[in-house]
Amino acid sequence: MALLRSTLVRHLVLLALGALALVLLTGSLSTFHNYELAGLGAYVCTAAGLTVLTGLNGQISLGHAALMAIGGYTVALLQIRFSDRAITGLWVLPLSLLAGAAVTGVAAAVVGVAAARLRGPYLAGVTLALGVALPALTSRFTSVFKGDQGLSVPFDPPPASLGANFAVERWQAWISLGAALIVLFFLANLNRSAIGRHFRAVRDDEVAAQLSGLSVPRVQILAFTVSGVAAGLGGGVFAVSLQTASPGSFDLTLSLALLSAVVIGGLGSLAGAVWGSIIVVYLGIVLRGFVDDLGLSAASAQKLHDNLPNAAFGLLLVLVMLILPGGIQGLLRRLAGVAPVDRLRRGRPEPFAAAIAQHSSSPPPSGGQQ
Amino acid sequence: MNSPAPESRLSVQGVTVRFGGLTALDDVSFEVAQGHVVGVIGPNGSGKTTLFNVICGFVRPTSGSLTWQGKTLRPRPDRLVRAGIARTLQSVGLFERLTALENVMVGAARARKAGFASALFALPRSDRDEQRLRDEALDWLRRLDVADAANRLPGTLPYPVQKRVSLARALISRPRLLLLDEPAGGLGAEDMTHLAGLIRGLPEAGEWPCSVLLVEHHMDLVMSVCDQVVVLDFGRLVASGTPDDVRSDPVVAAAYLGTDVPAEAELRATP
Ligand SMILES: Nc1ncnc2c1ncn2[C@@H]1O[C@H](COP(=O)(O)OP(=O)(O)O)[C@@H](O)[C@H]1O
Ligand SMILES: [Mg+2]
């Protein structure tokens, strides 16, 4: 059991169990459900990164879908190039995904530099603007991004070794959930380390963090970058699961759904990001199915399609903040009787709102009484 | 010890701070010699917090300079521990959603050897580093008699225990100069005695003698632990000397001691 004291061994065991579950699950589900799982994987990637940024480091982002878009479009552009040159191989898509994550990481670092100067509502405003403006860019440069219609994302069929009947949806689910597992693995490593502790220290008290030798902007930019890499990978696998990268799939609705997911799941908890993503994705599917069954005119059905799930997320968000501080993961921990050593709740309304209030009321890090 | 470390002396030279028309510090000069405990006293609004903020780099002086270990000090808050200076906050300032132990571990942030990559890949190096920090932090909590609190969140701890945790967080960086902002605020007699013993012991702590600069309103504590006391009044240094000198100085009596001792809450940062 001494081996389990190693963070790496513990997290690798969890990673292997997750991979096993993924293989078994995708094997037992229909192609349609596998298609849904592929979408879920993209949510988990991004929500995990967002919970690190907002929950662990106290920086809110209302524009994470825009970061996903950067990843998605990068993957699309690269895959199109590869496909045009008839370059194939098992390494091609991972390479594109990695590049998408890296490019998004760089972009997120730039956003992080600005974000490190902003607090609370101002940060919310700027990330919101980013979330609106970036997808709109695609219609300004239509020659590259093909406007509203978007880019197609060609990728190789599942390798022959998996069998002739291996459905492409199942392959997409593997890619997407595999990426989610990898993101969770790395973020869990960080969270367990001094880096995670420094994220949380900066969130809790910037002055004390500085006096402990931490550069607050540097820590905040790092958190934004890490979160951006996860979102970029999420956007990449999202584009692969949809087989297209279009502005409509990375809109504000997605940003808000992601934020809902991390709050519902339990802000700052990676497991919570998984629970929250499951709820948001499947609640969306159920509600859209419900709208379809109403037999409305095409126009009203179209309107309800997005708005009903959004309203539901909003309602759920408020309910969770009021009656379930700590989200689902907090509830699970309480049910499991885990001692209140956990760092995420102390019986009062949870971060998201509190973080904003706290940041806007605390003095800037320079000047003033300390 | 063949290459003696530079003497850990802090000199404050002619520091003036103006906030608009208000002069918070007016040409203040004094020194904290190595191994000395220096107290800063003065009525409310006399510039004590501003003085600390200048030394920490939160406030840039309008004029004047600082010298630390023989070199000019251009302080930046996040570079302070690297320079061997630690500060506790008047408002305690513990990270409220980190356990007491984690709080102290953050204080040793600079002592970490493993970098981002080891953390990302959870390399054994990162685990070892964490274990070392954890042991060291626990050791500090033990030295301050609050090891029981290690896994508790600050908000669940009594105020005096929180103050000790914040002291442990400052001390784990092994400072050569410790700035204490009202460390006795809110403490009972017993904790005060413990604190006095601790402060007195710091300069003699064999491996790394630590000087102390202390802002405090509890006169008993100041007079019993300080080698030297400087008195501020309206931003001007009106007296300095041994506790006995200062106590008998008529200027001081007029400025401060004769009048009511301000309630400790007055120094606390606005909420
Ligand atoms: N950031 C600031 N901006 C403007 N005035 C300030 C600032 N900080 C302190 N002051 C003023 O400077 C004077 C000295 O304050 P301070 O150093 O807090 O005194 P003390 O700590 O001795 O009570 C006070 O009049 C205070 O109002
Ligand atoms: Mg003050």
3-state secondary structure B1-48: CCCCCCCCCEEEEEEEEEECCEEEEEEEEEEECCCCEEEEECCCCCCH
Distance of CA B259 from the midpoint of ligand 1 (Å): 20
> Region B8-13: what's the mean pLDDT?
94
Q: How confident is the model over B14-32, as a mean pLDDT?
A: 96
Interchain CB contacts (distance < 8 Å): A and B: 146
CB of B22 closer than 6 angstroms to any ligand 1 atom? yes
Q: Which residues pair with B41 in a beta bridge?
A: B231
Q: Which of A115-124, A136-145, B151-160, B170-179 has the lowest mean pLDDT?
A: A136-145
What pTM value is reported for the model? Answer: 0.90
CATH superfamily, region B1-84+175-271 = P-loop containing nucleotide triphosphate hydrolases (3.40.50.300)
Give the CA radius of gyration of chain B: 19
Q: How far is the CA of B94 from the centre of ligand 1 (A)?
A: 23
Query: Which pLDDT score, from 0 to 100, does residue A360 have?
Result: 36
CA distance B179 to B32: 11
C-alpha distance from residue A28 to each of A167, A241, B40 (Å):
12, 19, 73
- Output the pLDDT for position A232: 98
Q: Which atom of ligand 1 is nearest to the CA of B25?
A: 14
Residue B115 burial (10 A CB sphere; 0-12, 13-18, 19+): middle
Domain edges within chain B? 1-84+175-271, 97-173
Which of B23, B25, B49 for a ligand 1 pocket mutation test, highest count of atoms within 8 Å of Cβ? B49
The pairing of strands B63-68 and B10-19 is antiparallel
Q: Mean pLDDT across the stretch B58-87?
A: 95
Does ligand 1 lie within 6 Å of residue B43's CB atom?
Answer: no
Which residue, by CA, sits nearest to atom 10 of ligand 1?
A: B24
**Token pair in block for residue A134:** 């970036």
C-beta separation of A179 from A45 below 8 A = yes
B217 Cβ below 6 A of ligand 1 = no
Q: How far is CA B1 from CA B4, B5, B6, B204, in A?
A: 6, 9, 12, 17
- Could you give the count of Cα atoms lying within 13 Å of B157 in the half-sphere of its Cβ? 27
User: What pLDDT is recorded for position B3?
Assistant: 52
Position B252 scores a pLDDT of 79
The ipTM estimated for the assembled molecules is 0.90
Which of A204, A211, A344 is the closest to B56 by Cβ?
Answer: A211
* pLDDT of the residue at B217: 84
Burial of A76 (0-12, 13-18, 19+ CB in 10 A): buried
Bridge-based pairing of strands B228-233 and B37-41 is parallel
- Provide mean pLDDT across the span A190-216: 96
Residue nearest ligand 1's atom 16 by CA: B47
pLDDT, tens digit (0-9, with 9 covering 90-100), for B148-191: 999 999 999 999 999 999 999 999 999 999 999 999 988 999 99
B2 confidence band (pLDDT: 50, 70, 90): very low
State the Cα–Cα distance between residues B136 and B173, nearest whole angstrom: 10
Answer whether A213 sits within 8 Å of B59, measured CB to CB.
no
Given an 8 Å threshold on Cβ–Cβ distance, is A370 in contact with B56?
yes
Instruction: Using an 8 Å CB-CB cutoff, list chain B residues near A7.
Output: 122, 126-127
* pLDDT of res. A321: 87
The ligand whose atoms approach the alpha carbon of B255 most closely is 1
Average of per-residue pLDDT values in chain A? 89
Give the residues across from B60 on adjacent strands: none
| pLDDT (tens digit per residue) in B193-236 | 999 999 998 877 657 789 999 999 888 899 999 999 999 999 99
DSSP string, A291-302: HHHTT--HHHHH
Cβ-based contacts of B106 with chain A (< 8 Å): 197-198, 201, 209, 212, 214
Angstrom CA distances, B17 to A369, B27, B73, B212, stand at 14, 8, 16, 23
